[in-house]
Structure 1
């Protein structure tokens, strides 16, 4: 890290691809991780918080002093949903995992987000790779937070199809009401959705490249991605898993790897087949003002080059 490193909070629900994303953050000196905040999602909050401690143990020197805060254990209004078919019962289906580096602090994740943003107005970026419940709670408790954060970069939604349902991406559907709060808050927001993440597939050659340096972080990530790939082969006929969450971290590191378009985005919260859909006004037909910059293209080979090179730096 350098004096000019971007201060970030990593908020998510690890999970295979959250873990890979957070390791990318720890391996990147351009980012200064102020804290991890966990939420319900891929597995329950107790497991996502345990898994966050494991990622800290894998994250090398940059992870040593990073605090951990547990947050929301359920969506704002919906019943919780988990994704064991994709991430396994534990969320981190690998054998050679270290014990968690630390347990969570007593402060709730939403209160930590507010405290840090108020201490450094305009400086902190939140990289969110799960349901947006923690951020929505923070915005409800402190509406001024929207004007205090530098930016939110969220892996979620899509300009097109869903993956949890035909209309909805998993992070959006798990807590659509929270996503609606965030998109309606006025916070500077970038969305990295399925329309770009499904172009970043970790096939066998890319997984082998992670294992090649012989470091523990690379070997664990490769094992996790091999487990993850099985679901993508069965569901989509792909030769590997999509790197959803790591692409959101890469967007904070190297926004030039993606093509961005400012547009109005709303989140469908109504019960029914479109619940959780991110309605992206690509052509400006509503005349509404843009509230997000949405990724509409990605240089996948350059992303994988960055990801592989950075993970090789970890122990």
Structure 2
């Protein structure tokens, strides 16, 4: 049976490709999409999630609006969290997309997560957040029993050697470090699919050629997404090819061998002057803490892109 996932997103070009991959792969069932503020403000990320879901045919699943602000801190507005410089003023600049063909679910994102997890069997759902972790932290606070019923959490965020929003912190974690600290400390397994892994998932010219060769409207949209996203990455981070961060978390659920992970102790720093939002990671046990989560370390590059290319073909058929 396909693994059911709830995809919690803040689209974002790489979130859009994550939605495409989740909808287009038969090994998983995209059971719901929830939105959160992150790459852009909540109104825009919610609208983008609905447009992408319409584009890829994910029109029969609930889509719920999530958290507009972090749990306890003021939203950071100095440019380090609002990623307009990379994703554009809409959060998903580039090709024209269809207008949403569905209505939003009336529940909040946190309540939708709770309702699905509690109605399902233990282990039936995997949570795949690819943005700030506010919705998951709120769901845990409202209904702590979900922690024991979720199969696992696969989070695109963090990093064990690098940050991208500060020297120490990755964007999704910094955006709501208190929420991330709660999620990583809970009694479930979180797989951190962080920058050390996702920077291996770059859209090289050869990859772009494969996507263009599909020759469909959907492949054209993906190629134009990569044009805009790639230009932003080159301008801001001087990376010649953009890393498709968020799709790596979905790929980890589809085929764990594609995104190799190792046991580690991971905690989120919420008090450091220079290290606020850092995902502190210990692979050796020298810190005296028992391993509590997993950290993604190595990507099978070819197999990863095979998954995305196959999903585009399947959704284009």
Q: Is the 8 A contact 1:208 1:222 kept in 2?
A: no
RMSD between superposed Cα atoms in Å: 1.3
- Following superposition of structure 1 onto structure 2, how do residues 239-250 of structure 1 map, counting pairs within 5 Å? 239-250=240-251
Q: Is the 8 A contact 2:131 2:156 kept in 1?
A: yes
- Residue 143 (structure 2) aligns with: 142
- 1:104 offset after TM fit, Å? 1.2
**Deviating 4+ runs (over 6 angstroms):** none
Give the alignment's TM-score, normalised by structure 2: 0.95
One of 26, 30, 35 as aligned partner of 1:29 = 26
- Residue 82 (structure 2) aligns with: 82
* Equivalent pairs, count: 310
- Residue 267 (structure 2) aligns with: 266
Q: Is the 8 A contact 2:229 2:242 kept in 1?
A: yes
What 5-or-longer segments of structure 1 have no aligned partner?
A: none
- Residue 67 (structure 1) aligns with: 62
Q: Is the 8 A contact 2:95 2:225 kept in 1?
A: no
What 5-or-longer segments of structure 2 have no aligned partner?
A: 76-80
- 1:234 offset after TM fit, Å? 2.6
Q: Partners in 1 of 2:212 and 2:46 — Cα distance?
A: 26
Q: Partners in 2 of 1:211 and 1:36 — Cα distance?
A: 27
* 1:96-128: CA deviation from partner (whole Å, max 9, x where unpaired): 211112231110110111111111122100111
Q: Partners in 1 of 2:312 and 2:72 — Cα distance?
A: 38
SS of residue paired to 1:314: helix
Q: Is the 8 A contact 1:201 1:239 kept in 2?
A: no
- Residue 286 (structure 2) aligns with: 285
Q: Partners in 1 of 2:224 and 2:233 — Cα distance?
A: 15
Q: Is the 8 A contact 2:251 2:259 kept in 1?
A: no
SS of residue paired to 1:143: coil
- Residue 51 (structure 2) aligns with: 54
- 1:200 offset after TM fit, Å? 1.2
* 1:42-100: CA deviation from partner (whole Å, max 9, x where unpaired): 0111111101111111113xx13111100100111233231100110101112321111
Q: Partners in 2 of 1:103 and 1:52 — Cα distance?
A: 12
SS of residue paired to 1:241: coil
SS of residue paired to 2:224: helix
Q: Is the 8 A contact 1:204 1:239 kept in 2?
A: no
* 1:19-40: CA deviation from partner (whole Å, max 9, x where unpaired): 0111011000111111100000
- Residue 109 (structure 2) aligns with: 109
One of 35, 48, 58 as aligned partner of 1:38 = 35
